[in-house]
Amino acid sequence: MLSYTACNFKNSRNQTISMKWLVTTWYQPHPIRWLLSPLSLIYRLIISLRKTLYNVGLFKQYKLSVPVIIVGNISVGGTGKTPFVIWLAKQLQQAGFKPGIISRGYGGKAASYPQTVTLQSDPTIVGDEPLIITRQTACPMVVSPNRVEAGLQLLHDNDCDIIISDDGLQHYALGRDIEIVVVDGQRLFGNHYCLPAGPLREPLSRLSYIDFIVHNSASDSAEYTMNLTQGSAINLLDSTLTKPLAEFKSHTVHAIAGIGNPNRFFEQLSQQGLTLIPHAFADHHPYQVSDLQFNDDNAILMTEKDAVKCTHFAHKNTWYIPIEASISGKLAPLIIEKLRKNPHG
């Protein structure tokens, strides 16, 4: 049986145990919320004032020349936005649209922005998730902390008729036509407090203004559920070499996850009958050779997000598990109908 409490949690910035402990308190009863609640109130007042200033026009919101779909969340941590963005881009392509994608490029450290993402881009420059999105969708993509600049660059260089913004729900400088929030169906909203007492970037009342809410995994309150299916393992050194996950059942494997919710990945592998030694890293962890050295011959399985940063020092028994999203309900037709019924302008 897999014990998640035994996970080896590492961080590129030597994240302190106290910070990890604080995050844990967001998802279980703990009196620390009462001590931090005054700071959460201040945080809520600041974000409310900021949003009001955009609404009344004192802060300028820029409308791009094509419709913009924001895919974001209202809580800290991974909720599954990347596989949803990939799914959405493919649905729009099938409907005849020419989507382009913009992102913050979190985890990347470019000397200047905007940065165009290509199949050969360095994930340390553009970020790990943008590189995966580009590889999976073949859509033009630009990253920048300034989403407006990213959108303008994308439209200048490409013939796009719609833009998907990966994250950016709270980036109000960018006008939007449709807002979609992806929710972690397991952790939901934790203790329902805003930062720092809880995981919320915005209060739950924000959801009443969202066009579509998608839950990653089953939830009683979900109208649309995203299910993530794991494919066969792909070798990091030779992408033509694949293995069904069942072939790893005979030996213990190392499971690597540097994502927002590593336990989700570990649970998925465990449900496949694999015996794991789990290693949880911080989200967007910049891997080094030592991170994959375990002094044994066991296979290493990791997410695709981790793989794009480990390929150049992986060994022959290192594999990544691709995932594919499917959405319950008729979400894609509803999004397309909304786009066509409400012309951009």
Question: Is 283's pLDDT higher than 50?
Answer: yes
| Structural domain includes residue 2 | no
Give per-residue pLDDT as tens, 235-272.
999 999 999 999 999 889 999 998 878 888 999 999 99
Domain span at residue 211 reads 68-226+327-341
Kindly indicate the confidence band of residue 186, based on its pLDDT and cuts at 50, 70 and 90.
confident
Of 11-15, 82-86, 292-296, the least confident = 11-15
Q: What is the mean pLDDT of residues 280-292?
A: 90
Give per-residue pLDDT as tens, 189-232.
999 999 999 999 999 999 999 999 999 886 666 789 999 888 99
Q: What is the mean pLDDT of residues 293-322?
A: 93
Q: Which two tokens stand for residue 342?
A: 């409400």
Kindly indicate the confidence band of residue 33, based on its pLDDT and cuts at 50, 70 and 90.
confident
Question: Is 42's pLDDT higher than 60?
Answer: yes
Q: Tell me if 160 sits within 8 A of 98, measured CB to CB.
A: yes
More reliable by pLDDT, 320 or 282 = 320
| Structural domain includes residue 331 | yes
| Structural domain includes residue 42 | no
Query: Total domain count for the chain?
Result: 2
- Which residues have a Cβ under 8 Å from the Cβ of 177 and sit 6 or more positions away? 67, 68, 69, 339, 342, 344
Strand residues in 210-322 grouped as ranges (E): 212-216, 224-230, 233-235, 242-243, 253-257, 276-280, 300-303, 318-321
Q: What is the mean pLDDT of residues 117-140?
A: 94
| Structural domain includes residue 38 | no
Of 13-22, 57-66, 122-131, 207-216, the least confident = 13-22
| Structural domain includes residue 137 | yes
Rounded distance, CA 100 to CA 97, Å? Answer: 10
Give the pLDDT confidence score for residue 5 in this predicted structure: 35
Question: Is 160's pLDDT higher than 80?
Answer: yes
Is 258 found in the same domain as 218? no
Question: Is 18's pLDDT higher than 80?
Answer: no
Give per-residue pLDDT as tens, 94-123.
999 999 999 999 888 899 999 999 999 999
Is 241 found in the same domain as 173? no
Is 110 found in the same domain as 163? yes
Is 175 found in the same domain as 265? no
Is 193 found in the same domain as 247? no
Is 334 found in the same domain as 257? no
| Structural domain includes residue 246 | yes
Q: What percent of the chain has pLDDT over 90?
A: 73
Q: What is the mean pLDDT of residues 140-152?
A: 97
Q: Which two tokens stand for residue 108?
A: 């990347």
Q: What is the mean pLDDT of residues 151-169?
A: 97
Among residues 264, 241, 265, the alpha carbon closest in space to that of 253 is found at 265
| Structural domain includes residue 281 | yes
Give the pLDDT confidence score for residue 103 in this predicted structure: 97
Is 187 found in the same domain as 252? no
Of 22-31, 37-46, 138-147, the least confident = 22-31
Is 125 found in the same domain as 217? yes
Percent helix, strand, coil in the chain, to 5, is: 35, 20, 45
**Which H helix or E strand runs over 179?**
strand 178-184
| Structural domain includes residue 115 | yes
- The helix/strand/coil state of 245 is helix
Is 271 found in the same domain as 181? no
Give the pLDDT confidence score for residue 220 in this predicted structure: 62
Residue with tokens 């480990």: 310
Provide the mean pLDDT of the chain: 90
Q: What is the CATH number of the domain that holds 110?
A: 3.40.50
